[in-house]
Amino acid sequence: MEHTGWLLDLFADPQGGVILWLLGDDGKRYRLRQDFPITFYAAGPAARLRALWRFLEQQPIPVNLSRVERHDLFQPQPLTVLAVQVPQPARQPRLFQRVARQFPELTYYDTDVQLTLRYSAVHRVFPLARCRVQVDEAGQVEEITALDLPWDIDPPQPPLRILDLEPDSDPAHASPTHLSLRFERFTYRLPLTPIRPLLLGLRSIIQRHDPDLLLTSWGDTWLMPRLLELSRKADLELPFNRERSLAPAHKPERTYFSYGQVVHQGRQVLLFGRWHIDRYNAMLFHDYGMHGIYELSRVTSLPIQTSARVSPGSGISAMQMLTALRQDILVPWHKQQAERPKTILDLMRADQGGLVYQPTIGLHYDVAEIDFISMYPSIMVHFNISPETVGSSQAIADAAPELGPPGDPQPQGLVPQTLAPLLEKRLEIKTHLATMPSWHPQHKIYRARASAHKWLLVTCFGYLGYKNARFGRIEAHEAVTAYGREALLRAKEAAEALGFDVLHLYVDGMWIAKPGAARVPDFQPVLEAISERTGLPIALEGVYRWMAFLASRVDARVPVANRYFGVFQDGSVKVRGIEARRRDTPHFIARTQAELLGELAHAARNVPVDAYLPRILALLRRKLLALRQGRIPLEELLVAQKLSRELDEFRTLSPVARAATQLLAVGKTTSPGEKIRFLYTRGEPGVYAWNLPQPPDLASVDVERYSELLLRAATTMLEPFGVSKQMLSQWLFSNAAYNAPPGKLPAFKYRDLPLWNTRYLLEG
């Protein structure tokens, strides 16, 4: 018997082998089974391996034992290892735990590799792959073949059935009363009490529509655990799983440190035979949505539910493991490679990071932004930089003399092999997007996939130097940055040789200007010269009508490398490092700053400042008046900040720590890495946690502080145009009309400005 369709799910069968769920071309969902033994390896002294052999023979879990030779990426010769094949994949983790406790001195490989990665390495299929499956009459898989590749640009889309579940309020803020459900054209609204009608209604809806995906809001952290608990208490089963022999899996919440930040991830509820994804507990869901998650799963071979929740770094690590498995390269349980010894001088020469050229502060017109396309991944592929290739030959050593010989052109290293097809796919998608109109039905999907690729490629560089990366080595990380610095310097020299002024360099991008160069073709010679000098792909991000590089708030003479904003020729804007980009900025402040930028977008070289400044000042005046009169919703004033440590570790409580203390006092615990929302209030303690049971007193809101934040955000936008904070505050706060009642605000007239301000604005 033959089935064709999409691979929905794959997991270990408690009875042995694996279970596959297939979405058939006929619209049916098929449950299939297949034998699939998995193997892990142990290396060490021969006597200890013999002892391990005897130990495994005495275990109740059946295994097949043998001596084999395998390749460790960091060893010059193959290793003789003990291969432990486990016919029942579901029992392998527990067996390995016993082994590791009994023989901690041995080196282990392929012990904690995801089951889907192992399966993909053997059968060349992946989540959402379109497959042809040969099965016998009992539903046992005899052969499975992928009909598409992870690197296809337009793979056939499976007709997924999606049920959306959402409580009517954020459970952390207020107790929900209803549950809203949406499935295609159907909508339902179920009261959360009484319990039995809720469970019966929910069970009926799931059975009627049989969704492939439960897409929830706060499903991991509140909704699903609550529904499962109510189901147990009422002794009324909810058919969340298609696989009825298994209960939903639970993973506890965790807090970890990554890239200089404390990250908190809520607990998880995972299903079998169908998926559950919580949009508020999915990593980067706000950035690329479900289409990005589908793409991550296809290229990494991680299960859909896993790829939604893990970081892009875990995705890159999975891709590297898959490459290793397909080449019979051992995947170490723990990283074995330490940094090579260096003197202080060697370290200073080698570990310099990316090149940053301090920008020219102020306002600039007709500026082109040129970016290397995925610079660091392109360097890894182009120069064959991988942990096992760095330092092995004299290839292209002149590009990074401080490191010595960086990499071999042949054979291709594990990291370049992993990244090459991903880079190629990203470039092809970006090429399609460049010519595709925004209304095209594929545009949104392409953008989501490109965003997913971007996060994977951004992370792959950091993983080269990550202390726990299975295939990481700090020297490879240093080699990439050395090539990057050299490439950016060559790009600068190419631009200057053609008469352009270089305004800014930042790691993988540059901003240039030249009198008379204002159109895209004017910059094409620069692109060609840079590509020829570096050998790396490069693109014109766009030409700005104008852009502003900002100074430090501490010292106006010091520029800030990643703090700027500007308007492209097509009217679109780009901002970096300002209030509107910060996640802890209240929405009211961020939205007002965006409106200011919208007004400033009309600025041009020959347009005097008084042509648009009156509208901006009037806009700020209206916003400040609305703030003072309490007409801004409190939700728009919320500040969201992460708790950086445990409360007892603070010497002086920050505003977010004070808010967390308030929540703790009413029994709501918070963990490091969690975002806490609060309002600034007058008096002590100066904040009011948003998720407290009682609503805040409107009169307690610290209007003066929010006014100061608004003024600071406005100053960020206006300083490049000659308007200082002192000037802005003098006009806004000293005019008697500012305190006029609603509807009585007089029309703004430019002559209302003090004389010295007017002269400064016109001449400065």
Beta strands in 335-451 (DSSP E): 356-357, 362-372
Which residues fall within 8 angstroms of residue 443, CB to CB, at 6 or more apart? 433, 436, 437
| CB-CB contact of 87 with 35 (8 Å) | yes
- For residue 578, what pLDDT is reported? 95
- DSSP annotation of 341 reads P
Please write the tens of the pLDDT for every residue from 84-134: 999 999 999 999 999 999 999 999 999 999 999 999 999 999 999 999 999
> Please, what is the angle between helix 46-57 and helix 92-102, to 10°?
130
Reported as half-sphere exposure (CB side, CA atoms, 13 A), residue 414 has a value of 29
In order of their start, the domains of the chain are 162-211+213-273 (3.30.420.10), 348-577 (3.90.1600.10), 597-763 (1.10.132.60)
Q: Can you name the residues that pair with 548 across neighbouring β-strands? A: 363, 565
Length of the chain, please?
A: 764
- For residue 713, what pLDDT is reported? 96
Q: Can you name the residues that pair with 329 across neighbouring β-strands? A: 71
Structure tokens, 92: 């392998």
Max Cα-Cα span within the chain: 94
Helix or strand holding residue 79 (H, E): strand 79-86
Beta strand 107-109 pairing with 356-357:
unpaired
- For residue 108, what pLDDT is reported? 96
- On the question of pLDDT at 742 being above 50, the answer is no
Reported as half-sphere exposure (CB side, CA atoms, 13 A), residue 609 has a value of 16
Which residues fall within 8 angstroms of residue 35, CB to CB, at 6 or more apart? 16, 17, 87, 140
Distance CA 187, CA 670 (A): 34
Q: What is the pTM of this model?
A: 0.88
- For residue 723, what pLDDT is reported? 84
Which residues fall within 8 angstroms of residue 695, CB to CB, at 6 or more apart? none
Helix or strand holding residue 461 (H, E): helix 443-465
| CB-CB contact of 690 with 638 (8 Å) | yes
- For residue 751, what pLDDT is reported? 43
CA separation, residue 259 to residues 256, 556, 633 (Å):
10, 29, 35
- For residue 64, what pLDDT is reported? 96
Distance CA 52, CA 82 (A): 9
Distance CA 576, CA 579 (A): 9
Please write the tens of the pLDDT for every residue from 687-735: 999 999 999 998 999 999 999 999 999 999 999 988 888 888 877 765 4
- For residue 354, what pLDDT is reported? 87
Q: How confident is the model at residue 613 (pLDDT cuts 50, 70, 90)?
A: confident
The residue-averaged pLDDT of 54-74 equals 94
CA separation, residue 595 to residues 472, 544, 619, 633, 658 (Å):
45, 19, 9, 18, 32
- For residue 738, what pLDDT is reported? 43
- For residue 323, what pLDDT is reported? 97
Q: Which of 481, 547, 544 is nearest to 517 (CA)?
A: 544
- For residue 733, what pLDDT is reported? 66
Please write the tens of the pLDDT for every residue from 7-24: 999 999 999 999 999 999
Mean pLDDT of the chain: 89
Q: Which of 166, 189, 12 is nearest to 87 (CA)?
A: 12
- For residue 734, what pLDDT is reported? 57
CA separation, residue 186 to residues 189, 205, 312, 655 (Å):
10, 10, 35, 44
- For residue 577, what pLDDT is reported? 93
Distance CA 171, CA 169 (A): 6
CA separation, residue 517 to residues 322, 363, 538, 541, 568 (Å):
48, 16, 19, 15, 14
The residue-averaged pLDDT of 414-418 equals 95
Q: How confident is the model at residue 761 (pLDDT cuts 50, 70, 90)?
A: very low
- For residue 27, what pLDDT is reported? 94
Q: Which residue has the higher pLDDT, 488 or 338?
A: 488
| Cα 91 from chain centre | 33
CA separation, residue 476 to residues 83, 238, 346, 466 (Å):
31, 51, 15, 11
Reported as half-sphere exposure (CB side, CA atoms, 13 A), residue 286 has a value of 4
- On the question of pLDDT at 358 being above 70, the answer is yes
Q: How confident is the model at residue 338 (pLDDT cuts 50, 70, 90)?
A: low
Q: Can you name the residues that pair with 552 across neighbouring β-strands? A: none
- On the question of pLDDT at 637 being above 80, the answer is yes
- For residue 476, what pLDDT is reported? 87
- On the question of pLDDT at 339 being above 70, the answer is no
The residue-averaged pLDDT of 445-459 equals 94
> Please, what is the angle between helix 312-326 and helix 285-300, to 10°?
10
Please write the tens of the pLDDT for every residue from 238-288: 999 999 889 999 999 988 777 667 888 889 999 999 999 999 999 899 999
Q: How confident is the model at residue 607 (pLDDT cuts 50, 70, 90)?
A: low
Q: Which residue has the higher pLDDT, 275 or 477?
A: 275
Distance CA 417, CA 73 (A): 14
- On the question of pLDDT at 745 being above 80, the answer is no
Distance CA 209, CA 162 (A): 9
| CB-CB contact of 391 with 475 (8 Å) | yes
Rama region for 152: left / alpha / beta (φ>0; ψ in -120 to 50; rest): beta
Rama region for 251: left / alpha / beta (φ>0; ψ in -120 to 50; rest): beta
Radius of gyration of the chain (CA): 30
- For residue 570, what pLDDT is reported? 86
- On the question of pLDDT at 650 being above 70, the answer is yes
Which residues fall within 8 angstroms of residue 149, CB to CB, at 6 or more apart? none
- The mean-pLDDT minimum among 197-201, 419-423, 436-440 falls in 436-440
Q: Which of 132, 128, 165 is nearest to 150 (CA)?
A: 128
Structure tokens, 542: 């766009």
